[in-house]
Amino acid sequence: MIPFITAGDPAPELTVPLMHALVEGGADIIELGVPFSDPMADGPTIQRASERALVNGMSLRKVLALVSDFRATNSDTPVVLMGYANPIEAMGVDRFVAAAGAAGVDGVLVVDYPPEECEAFARTLKAGSMDPIFLLAPTSTEQRIREVATIGSGYIYYVSLKGVTGSGALDFDDVAARMPQIRQGVGMPVGVGFGIRDAESARRIGEVADAVVIGSRIIEEIEDSPRDQAVARVKNFVEGVRAALDQIQGAPR
Partner 1 sequence: MQTADKPYRFPDSHGHFGPYGGVFVAETLIPALDELNAAYEACRSNPAFIAEFEYELKHYVGRPSPIYHAKRISDSLGGAQIYLKREDLNHTGAHKVNNCIGQALVARYMGKPRVIAETGAGQHGVATATVAARYGMECVVYMGAEDVKRQAANVYRMKLLGAKVVPVESGSKTLKDALNEAMRDWVTNIHNTFYIIGTVAGPHPYPMMVRDFQTVIGKECLVQMPEMTGRQPDYVIACVGGGSNAMGIFHPYIDVPGVRLIGVEAYGEGLESGRHAASLTGGTPGVLHGNRTYLLQSEDGQIIETHSISAGLDYPGVGPEHAWLKDSDRAEYVGVTDQEALAAFHNLCHLEGIIPALESSHALAYAAKLAPTLPRDKILLVNLSGRGDKDMHTVAEKSGIQF
> In sequence order, which residues have a C-beta less than 8 Å from that of residue 199 and are 6 or more positions away?
240, 241, 243, 244
Q: Is 61 in the site for partner 1 (CB under 8 A)?
A: yes
Q: How deeply is 226 buried, as exposed, middle or buried, from its count of CB atoms within 10 A (0-12, 13-18, 19+)?
A: exposed
The amino acid occupying position 89 is E
Q: Report the alpha-carbon distance of residue 6 to residue 15 in Å, rounded.
A: 8
Minimum distance from CB of 247 to partner 1 (Å)? 31
Contact string 199-228 vs partner 1 (x = CB under 8 A): ------------------------------
Minimum distance from CB of 110 to partner 1 (Å)? 9
**Which of 9, 28, 31, 221 does the annotation list as catalytic?**
31
Among 40, 102, 177, 232, binds partner 1 (CB under 8 A): 40
Is 42 part of the annotated catalytic residue set? yes
Q: Is 124 in the site for partner 1 (CB under 8 A)?
A: no
Among the listed ranges 21-29, 97-105, 132-140, 229-237, the one in contact with partner 1 (CB under 8 A) is 132-140
Q: Is 140 in the site for partner 1 (CB under 8 A)?
A: yes
Q: Is 150 in the site for partner 1 (CB under 8 A)?
A: no
Sheet bearing 156-159, strands edge to edge = 131-132, 107-110, 79-83, 30-33, 2-6, 211-214, 190-193, 156-159, 134-136
Taking a C-beta distance cutoff of 8 angstroms, is the pair 224, 189 a contact? no
Catalytic sites, residue numbers: 31, 42
